[in-house]
Amino acid sequence: MKKFFSSIQLLLLGTAQAASQWQNVRLGGGGGFVPGIVFHPKTAGVVYARTDIGGLYRLNAADDSWTAVTDAITDDAGWHNWGVDAVALDPQDDAKVYAAFGLYTNDWDPSNGQIGRSADRGATWQFADLPFKVGGNMPGRGMGERLAVDPANPDILYFGARSGKGLWKSTDGGASFAKIDSFTAVGTYAPQPGDTTGLNSDIQGLTFVTFDSTSATLDGATSRIFVGTADNSTASLYMSEDAGATWSALKDQPGKFFPHKGKLSPAEKALYISYADGTGPYDGTNGAVYRYDIAAGAFKDITPSIGEAINFGFGGLALDAQKPGTVVVASLNSWWPDARLFRSTDSGATWSQLWEWADYPEMNLRYKQNVDKAPWIGPGFLDIDTKDLGWMIEALEIDPHDSDHWLYGTGLTLYGGHDLTKWDAGSWDEKLTISSLADGIEETSVQDVASVPGGTELLAATGDVGGFTFADAAALGTAPKVNWMNPQWTTNVGVDYAGAAVKSVVRIGNSAGTKQIALSSDGGATWREHPGADTSANGGTVALGADGKVVVWSAASGSVLRSQDEGAFSKVASLSSGAIVASDKQNGSVFYGGSGSSFYVSKDAGSSFGATGKLGSATAVRDIAAHPAKAGDVWVSTDAGVFHSTDYGATFTQTSTTLTNTFQVALGVGKDKESWNIYAFGHVAAGPRLYGSGDSGATWTDIQGDTQGFGSIDGGTKLAGSGNVAGLVSQSSSLIDYFGNNKASTADDNVGARDYYIVDEHHHV
């Protein structure tokens, strides 16, 4: 199943000529899966984290925050660059970083993958096109790293492909790649061969490439290379001792598991491998950890014992470069009661656990947790679940320059700390601190956004972590203390407010079989279940009447529904299933609808709808935005452009023929706080971008700029102009960004822009 994942961003535009600038609207906790972390082996503080749908990030070591380094390459044409399937660093040049870009190997992503290369730590990128797809959000995305730079020769890179495409090599520093025909293993495992979507039926290919930096060089290249493959038969680990000319399967290797990580300990001349019986990130009920003695050519099973049968595989694997023989491994998925992490200081001969059972159900813990950077993780997750340490642990690293600094990725956030060696104290009382350290990483699924004039500045309905309320503009720079709870659903897909009763808010979720609509009477600070809800409806779009008395809900699970005064929902027969719905923000009797090429109006508080004015040559109504302050003033986004009505939709005028094929449309307070800006995703001569107008749509200005991408503008993006702060607009697309001063500029002074919040959107599974 596809989902759209997003975040929220702010662009500042002023009057002086300067480039657009972006920073995060702060959630602080990541909000999604971090499958890979790479430390530079020689330069302290150079660290990258890859995400499956949120791009690539670089660590700011001074404060444990992260900076997005792929936003500029994720525009409408390059939206697939949000998926990062592998990362590699040049050991000889700490400014160089390489990444494998692409979201899916099935038809959800129509584009082939690319290997991106940057010589300035991600500030700018160049690309090598690949003749096949890359799957940064495909099953098995936590394995790796599939991309590696030869430590003896930085012109040489290897990339292990998916989909049976084999092993590829570059000899020009990543500018081009060619297939290595002598490597014939392709990684034949597919989780579900019969899956017609192609998501689980595609074979997962190669899982990691690891150079042996202790081996001799051959013609200037490292001679010994290890490659893992997604096979669980007799061989899944291969080695070359002649710089990739020939390959052979390692003898006596484990045969029934998939190798997830293969990491070299140079001082020990050993390769450590984590194995699981699933390829992740969700599966795995058995597994092992092995140590391969390179000189002896022998494997040793060093799997930690838990005193009972193992019901999980192993994913994350970290080595301490400062203390050879010190190893940390993590369960790929231990769904109850928590993740399992183990540490050995004697090359896996003995292990200690991060927690163990005391008198059941009590647990002895070697750690305490800190979520100051993302306080909502506490009440929203840690306080209501046993899995304090997380799940889907594939990325796990110890800083090669600091034995106390470590990081690991989960399905929710990125954890870590700066006192790892406390683990070795041998006492349950000497606890290390595990903190959420994902500040700046944003891959939260923002499904909808709303800004309430005279009320809450931003309401963000999100996937996986529910949703968030930002009371005012100042709150946009601070991680929320709590996510949407009581009721708490995994995903909220819609939110709306009452224009004349601004404390009244409604939200909807998309989980089938449970009640999925909630109300707030305090602007989204607290919530209660809608008393008229039943379990038959979920998803879709929702509209709350201007007086807060009527809810019209176009449910994805069926019909358009209506509830008045919090009563039971009944079917609205005059709107077809799947119609877009919106409310007039000043007249509680009026609602709007859109379906196909037709626009509909209800003047009896949503009881019935009738078709009204024509929308030119449009064949698809895509979004409806009622003016926050003027009754009967409504804007409609269509495949032919933006249309405007001032008479409740009786007649429409197209705003401008230069802006065509539009998707979302929104209104926000203009520079004098009396005028209103119009914002839309659409096409003009400059291409598909986010545009703004300060003259009622007569002219449109590109407000996206060249340094920020929002992914595909037709990928479910949402817009909400601020009703409180001049020039502020929230957009649901793919990264939550925030900016708060007046240094940038716009070519159109009429827009009166000062701050722009935006959110990007991706497909996620």
Q: Which are the catalytic amino acids? A: 52, 464
CA angle 66, 68, 71 (to 5 degrees): 170
Residue 186 and residue 228 in contact, taking contact as beta carbons nearer than 8 Å: no
Omega within 30 of 0 (cis) for the link into 266:
no
DSSP calls for 292-348: EETTTTEEEE-PPP-SS---S-EEEEEE-TTSTT-EEEEES---SS---EEEESSTT
Give the separation between CA 720 and CA 39, rounded to whole angstroms: 38
Residue 509 and residue 483 in contact, taking contact as beta carbons nearer than 8 Å: no
AA identity, residue 194:
G
Give the separation between CA 286 and CA 643, rounded to whole angstroms: 58
Give the separation between CA 738 and CA 11, rounded to whole angstroms: 7
3-state secondary structure at position 138: coil
Report which of 83, 76, 73, 17 is spatially closest to residue 707, judged by C-alpha positions: 73
3-state secondary structure at position 266: helix
Alpha helices (runs of H) in 136-274, residue ranges in sequence order: none
Q: What is the signed CA dihedral for 231, 234, 240, 241, rounded to 10 degrees?
A: 160
Omega within 30 of 0 (cis) for the link into 281:
yes
Residue 6 and residue 464 in contact, taking contact as beta carbons nearer than 8 Å: no
Stated as kind and residue range, the H or E segment containing 377 is helix 377-377
3-state secondary structure at position 441: coil
Residue 601 and residue 590 in contact, taking contact as beta carbons nearer than 8 Å: yes
Helix H, strand E, coil C: the string for 679-712 is EEEEEECCEEEEEEECCCCCCCEECCCCCCCCCC
Q: Identify the residue whose tokens are 């209800």.
A: 602
Q: The tokens of 756 are what?
A: 């722009």
Give the separation between CA 583 and CA 180, rounded to whole angstroms: 60
Q: Read off the DSSP letter of residue 106.
A: S
Report which of 629, 620, 558, 552 is spatially closest to residue 592, judged by C-alpha positions: 552
Give the separation between CA 635 and CA 389, rounded to whole angstroms: 47
Report which of 51, 168, 27 is spatially closest to residue 478, judged by C-alpha positions: 27
* Residue 486 Cα to chain centre, angstroms: 25
Q: Is 627 exposed, middle or buried (0-12, 13-18, 19+ CB in 10 A)?
A: buried
Give the separation between CA 720 and CA 168, rounded to whole angstroms: 45
Burial 217-250 (b: 16+ CB within 10 A, else e): ebeebbbbbbbbbbbbeebbbbbbbebbeebeeb
Give the separation between CA 447 and CA 634, rounded to whole angstroms: 22
Residue 698 phi, psi (nearest 5) = -65, -40
Q: Read off the DSSP letter of residue 378.
A: I
Residue 551 and residue 544 in contact, taking contact as beta carbons nearer than 8 Å: yes
Cα 385 to Cα 28, 337, 390, 461, 465, distances in angstroms? 20, 9, 10, 22, 13
Edge to edge, the sheet with strand 467-470 lists 445-450, 458-463, 467-470
- Per the DSSP assignment, residues forming a β-bridge with 4 are 763
